[in-house]
Amino acid sequence: MRGHVLVLLSLLVACLLIFHSAVPNTVGRLGSLLETFLPWLGLAVPVLMGLALLRRRWAVVLSTLLPVAAWLGLFGGLFLSPSDAEYDITALQHNVSDVNPDPSGTARNLLRTDADLIALEELTPSALPVFKAELAPDYLHHASVGTVGLWSKYPLVDIGRVDIKPAGIGPGWDRGLRATARTPQGDVAVYVAHLPSVRLGLAKGFNTAWRDESAALLGAAIAAERLDKVILLGDLNSTVDDRGLDPVSSRLDPPGSGFALSWPAAFPLARIDQIMTRAAPVTRIWSLPSTGSDHLPIAARIRL
């Protein structure tokens, strides 16, 4: 490959990393698709660098440092995850899958984390009683709405449904709840949400319309929250880099370190399960082993 082509490709990768928000969403939601898997653009760097070294032209090699610098600027800080940072509670988020073959085993796996808060999605009518029975001895406080649930070691009050249902979805679709957790550090508003799935197809490209509409409703609910401290636990069906989640991510802080990839469980490519907070910094976030779901659980330590 010619040297000038390598330079142009290096510039293209660097520009996509730095100016990803400039990629339009008007056709097939290409901007959101790029942002969902944005860290993986880094895989182009060793390929470009290897080809540049074969050319034995240092100007070409140096050009490949541009995407390196861009990638590190965006994601380098995620590697800095101090294990000894102070925290007050541990929260766990998991989409348990509505076709999970062993909900009892999944619940027992989650119990081993000893998390203070556990949020679950895709709780089917048959699986919900199983999770209640398994988690009840350690978690005296529980709330559920539709297919989402919250288990807590702290008392839960002001439990209610959060309406995040897009207009095009029929009745019986409930995937949002809010509760106040009465922790030793004070009251915390805890939201559990499961935004609609996205679809990738030839006709509509990366179809995120329902997900984006649901994110706007969730963002509005969080904006109206009166408590200072907020914890959001949920399967948001995208990463925090995706502009489709801006109504939520603009009002909450994502974890400052840790990749914690959660989906798909067999070979995680993205963290679409999120733990986001307000006035309660996440000091560490990480993925947990597979439980039989197509998602991995994620856990976070939070300082209140």
> In terms of domains, do 156 and 293 share one?
yes
Name which residue leads in pLDDT, 6 or 144.
Answer: 144
> In terms of domains, do 49 and 177 share one?
no
Name which residue leads in pLDDT, 182 or 200.
Answer: 182
> In terms of domains, do 168 and 45 share one?
no
What's the rounded Cα separation, in Å, for the pair 189 and 182? Answer: 9
CB-neighbour burial class of residue 236 (10 A; exposed 0-12, middle 13-18, buried 19+): buried
What's the rounded Cα separation, in Å, for the pair 86 and 82? Answer: 9
> In terms of domains, do 55 and 186 share one?
no
Q: Is the pLDDT of residue 22 over 70?
A: yes
Q: Is the pLDDT of residue 204 over 70?
A: no
42 conformational bin, left if phi > 0, alpha if psi -120 to 50, beta if neither: alpha
Q: Do the domain assignments include residue 216?
A: yes
> In terms of domains, do 52 and 113 share one?
no
Name which residue leads in pLDDT, 54 or 234.
Answer: 234
Report phi then psi at 253, rounded to 5: -105, 125
What mean pLDDT is predicted for residues 67-76?
Answer: 89
Query: With pLDDT > 90 as the criterion, what percentage of the chain qualifies?
Result: 71
177: confidence class by pLDDT, cuts 50, 70, 90: very high
The average confidence (pLDDT) of the chain is 92
What's the rounded Cα separation, in Å, for the pair 219 and 194? Answer: 13
> In terms of domains, do 123 and 23 share one?
no
Q: Answer with the one of 38, 61, 79 that is the final residue of a domain.
A: 79
Q: Is the pLDDT of residue 291 over 80?
A: yes
Which positions ≥6 away from 7 have C-beta within 8 Å? Answer: 59, 60, 63
Please tell me the least confidently modeled range out of 4-13, 32-41, 146-155, 203-212. Answer: 203-212
Please tell me the least confidently modeled range out of 48-57, 131-140, 262-271. Answer: 48-57
Q: Answer with the one of 31, 51, 79 that is the final residue of a domain.
A: 79
What mean pLDDT is predicted for residues 109-138?
Answer: 97
The pair of three-digit structure tokens given for residue 20, joined into one six-digit string: 């990803």
284: confidence class by pLDDT, cuts 50, 70, 90: very high
Q: What is the CATH number of the domain that holds 256?
A: 3.60.10.10
pLDDT at 162 (0 to 100): 98
> In terms of domains, do 57 and 128 share one?
no
Structure confidence by residue, pLDDT tens digits, 221-234: 999 999 999 999 99
Classified as helix, coil or strand, 135 is helix
pLDDT at 83 (0 to 100): 63
pLDDT at 59 (0 to 100): 76
CB count, 10 Å around CB of 115? 25
DSSP 21-74: GGS-STTTTHHHHHHHTGGGGGGHHHHHHHHHHHHT-HHHHHHTHHHHHHHHHH
pLDDT at 50 (0 to 100): 84
What mean pLDDT is predicted for residues 41-47?
Answer: 88
Structure confidence by residue, pLDDT tens digits, 238-255: 999 999 999 999 999 999
**What's the pTM?**
0.91
Q: Do the domain assignments include residue 84?
A: no
Name which residue leads in pLDDT, 148 or 57.
Answer: 148
> In terms of domains, do 132 and 106 share one?
yes
pLDDT at 201 (0 to 100): 60
Domain count of the chain? 2
What mean pLDDT is predicted for residues 67-95?
Answer: 86
Per-residue burial over 20-37, b if 16 or more Cβ lie within 10 Å, else e, is beebebeebbebbbbbbe
What mean pLDDT is predicted for residues 10-24?
Answer: 91
207: confidence class by pLDDT, cuts 50, 70, 90: confident
> In terms of domains, do 200 and 232 share one?
yes
Identify the domain containing residue 60 by its residue range. Answer: 3-79
What number of helices (H) and strands (E) belong to the chain?
9, 13
Name which residue leads in pLDDT, 161 or 77.
Answer: 161
